[in-house]
Amino acid sequence: MSKFWSDIVHKLTPYVPGEQPKLDNLVKLNTNENPYGPSPKVLAAVKLEAADTLRLYPDPNSDTLKAAIAEVHDLNVNQVFVGNGSDEVLAHTFQALLKHDKPLLFPDITYSFYPVYCGLYDIEYKTIPLADDFTINIDDYEQPNGGIIFPNPNAPTGIPLALGHIEKLLEKNTQSVVVIDEAYVDFGTESAVSLINRYPNLLVTHTLSKARSLAGLRVGYALGSADLIEALMRIKDSFNSYPIDRFASAGAIAAMQDSVYFEKTCNKVIETREALIKSLRTLGFDILPSGANFIFAKHQVVDGAELTLKLREKSIIVRHFKSPSRISPYLRITVGTDEQSHALVEVLKALL
């Protein structure tokens, strides 16, 4: 606390990201990173950027990157917005499209950055409880609102919502923006991108941090009607003209273009996830359905906080959320390599 701070700083409750421990030999399954490195084509492209041209600013509009993204999703370039990680894209979205007189709606259990952005931008919000089985019931969102946002698959549950439900929501909710945060969509969840040309109030956000193995490069994007994208551009150009640096641009373009590597690594993560679910079930875990690169698992006897600590003593790091109490028995476990899964299962066998 300081008398030098602006008023709003006193009131903020900042987001706390998952730990990035500076220790070697950890089995790090706490922040949903991809266990496989980025495509070799990405590394080659980034290396090429270490050149004299670094003295020049990058393209403020990231036109080449936007074109590569538009091509993957079969959209026009003016339907693409890019930012420094999808967190930045989401922040601009909250400010540009979700601050209205009526409250923004999102689930009570969801990505915990959403209420933080509401605090930062003074946005009124209302949380909608997930059903008892942790699913999103779209009928619950049929009420006056200044916008709706949720991840699909949801985080930290990992549960996917079928595209038909999202379309039903869009049919009923035409007067405010619906944002589907598809950070984990490539691990087996249906994407809503195919609905963009029919619903001008739909914005879909993606990240290169997960399926494209580039959490360290910080690139995310939003897809939607040209009208929604223009609002995001107006915020971005009032905030930071160059959010995508030359390395990020080169690496992200190469990543978007390497669909073979992308599909191979996503399929491998899905395969490992299914094998891990099977093994954990035999050890007495209940596991929610996952369309993500992580699982949400509760042991039938041992508490989530206790298991997290015990795993940590064995150098395995998973994520535990103390609140709300409904999810405190659960561990959120990132799907790693087969070797990491094996290490986790062996340690759990010994612990339990």
Binding site for ligand PLP (CB under 6 A): 32, 85-87, 111, 151, 155, 181, 183, 207, 209, 215, 220
Shortest Å, Cβ 71 to ligand PLP = 20
| Sequence-separated (6 or more) residues with CB below 8 Å from residue 345 | 276, 279, 280, 283
Residue 332 in 3-state DSSP? strand
- Written as six digits, the tokens of 5 are 């701070």
| Residues 6+ positions from 189 with CB-CB distance below 8 Å | 152, 153, 160, 161, 182, 291, 292
Closest CA relative to residue 32, chosen from 107, 150, 134, 111:
111
Residue 102 or 242 having the CB closest to ligand PLP = 242
Closest approach, Cβ 2 to ligand PLP, in A, equals 28
Nearer to ligand PLP, 87 or 186 (CB): 87
Identify which of residues 207 and 290 has a Cβ nearer to ligand PLP in the complex: 207
Query: Is the bond leading into 153 cis (omega within 30 degrees of zero)?
Result: yes
- For ligand PLP, give the closer residue by CB, 83 or 299: 83
CA 349, 270, 306, 343: dihedral to nearest 10 degrees? 40
- We find the least distance from the C-beta atom of residue 313 to ligand PLP, in angstroms, to be 25
96 — phi, psi (to 5°)?
Answer: -85, -30
- Minimum separation from the CB atom of position 300 to ligand PLP (A): 27
Minimal distance, residue 10 CB to ligand PLP, in Å? 26
Q: How distant is the alpha carbon of residue 249 from its chain centre?
A: 20
Residue 235 beta carbon to ligand PLP: minimum distance, rounded to whole angstroms = 16
Q: Which CB sits closer to ligand PLP, 185 or 250?
A: 185
Sign, Cα dihedral of 344, 345, 350, 352: positive
Q: Which CB atom, from 103 or from 158, has the smaller least distance to ligand PLP?
A: 158
Beta strand spans in the chain (E) = 27-29, 80-83, 104-107, 125-128, 147-151, 178-181, 202-207, 220-224, 285-287, 294-299, 316-318, 330-334
We find the least distance from the C-beta atom of residue 320 to ligand PLP, in angstroms, to be 15
Nearer to ligand PLP, 187 or 348 (CB): 187
